[in-house]
Amino acid sequence: MRSAAPPAFSSLSLRPVRRSVHVFADIPAAAVKELREKTGVGMMQCKKALAEVDGDIAKAEEYLRNKGIAGAQKKAGRIAAEGAVVSYVHAGSRLGVLMEVNCETDFVARGDAFKELAESLAMQVAANPQVEYVSVDDVDPEFVKRETEVIKGMEDLKSKPENIREQITAGRVAKLVKERALLSQDYIMDPTKTVNDALIESISKLGENIKIRRFEKFQLGEGVEKKVGDLAKEVEEQTAAMQAEAAKKKEEPKVEAAAPTDDKPKVAVSPKMVKELRDKTGAGMMDCKKALAETNNDVQAAEDFLRKKGIAGAAKKAGRTAAEGLIVQYIHPGARMGVLLELNCETDFVARGEKFTELANNLAMQVAAFPQVEIVSLDDVDPADREKEFEIEMNREDLANKPENIRAQIVKGRVDKIFKERALLEQEYIMDNTKTVGEAIKQAIGQIGENIVVRRFSKFKLGEGLEKKEDNFAEEVAAQMGG
């Protein structure tokens, strides 16, 4: 069967197609400025509104109000102490963002629209590597001063007329500042508007002030010297180590387990021997104590015992470079507290393993579980902070009745205790409270066979330090429903 021939071009009925064309070029800048000041809406949206109504400012304001955009400026001064702590970890766990976005009420914070906005903003920070602060108002004045001096000394500026050099310099500095400000970036969910425009739209739609309060961004291994290696070799080394361990276990003679008895004598273990074994193996205090008790205080046998358990040898690995690893996050239910943590190891092969991933996630949860924790280890204590605490403790009244020759010793003990409570590695491990976090990491080093380092963490608690207005939930709902 022959198919029907297509109709000849001349026989088609051609009709003109009307398209809505907005000529932005005809909108005066002064009108855009006036509309922005009246409504608080972004420049492009003001320009579009004026184009839609032939440049009539009153009609453009009404147009924006109908679109739910105008009026956000009036809400911008209201207290925003509720909201959510959100996170974004990019695929591969090499880049992570922790962010706090505030609104006025818990009612709005629990809504899908607010949650989607907050999550997209965290993703926005990850998508713009140059972003360092929320708005241009947050720029460090020292940065502006330094960049101004650098630009003034540029060769190409010397060929410009002297009377406009200051203006050119100011423009270039403003551009650098803007490139680093989150609110000035094109919004990833709609590149026709900036992040600030998207925020203003959300304020109008949700009826509450919304603020990006702060964010933290971690990039895996930044600033850490990294050894170059190839994945194939890493896999080969790890596989060979596992095969050797399996062969060793196979060769060991099987010993029938003796029936448990309750009359096994308890071995007294001296602190001196525990210290000696700890220095040799890098294992935790409780692990050393148990090993010595099991081997009747034979230090060499205890060392072998720990090696078989995969605990010994961690101290020897502690000096090796750890620049691989994972960025992980923990957001507590309710999104009122969040943690971002970087855990480093030596190879990407280990970083992708289940044991390492589990350890990293547990450590992020650990930070959230201990509100007093501020630093990774005692080595991170600022000497100025230590000196300040020492001075405070020295002036306490209860110290006056103590002998003068032991006051400094008492104060040192108190100060050590204060900072021990703030150090992550010194806390009881939430997954096994018979050991500290530091000891759990040493055990993981022994089992995995690579150095492992908690490099840094950041912790946000919602509304920390913000003034909060007191409302009850019924009033929040009534306000939202227009009651």
* Contact (Cβ atoms closer than 8 angstroms) between residue 398 and residue 410: no
Helix axes 299-308, 271-281, angle to 10 degrees: 50
Return the ∠ at Cα 429 (arms to 427 and 294), rounded to 5°.
110
* Contact (Cβ atoms closer than 8 angstroms) between residue 116 and residue 201: no
Length of the chain: 483
Amino acid (one-letter) located at 455: R
- The per-residue pLDDT for range 322-371, each reduced to its tens digit, is 789 999 999 999 999 999 999 999 999 999 999 999 999 999 999 999 99
Can you tell me the distance from the alpha carbon of 235 to that of 242, in angstroms, rounded to the nearest whole number?
11
Q: Which pLDDT does position 21 carry in this prediction?
A: 44
In Å, the largest CA–CA distance within the chain is: 115
* Contact (Cβ atoms closer than 8 angstroms) between residue 430 and residue 301: no
Q: Which pLDDT does position 33 carry in this prediction?
A: 82
Q: Which pLDDT does position 421 carry in this prediction?
A: 95
Amino acid (one-letter) located at 314: A
Q: Which pLDDT does position 24 carry in this prediction?
A: 55
- The per-residue pLDDT for range 296-309, each reduced to its tens digit, is 888 888 887 876 66
Q: Which pLDDT does position 399 carry in this prediction?
A: 83
Q: Which pLDDT does position 158 carry in this prediction?
A: 84
Top pLDDT among 455 and 13 is at 455
Nearest to 214, CA basis, from 113, 143, 141, 138: 138
Nearest to 324, CA basis, from 100, 93, 159: 93
361-387 average pLDDT score: 95
Residue 442 has pLDDT above 90, yes or no: yes
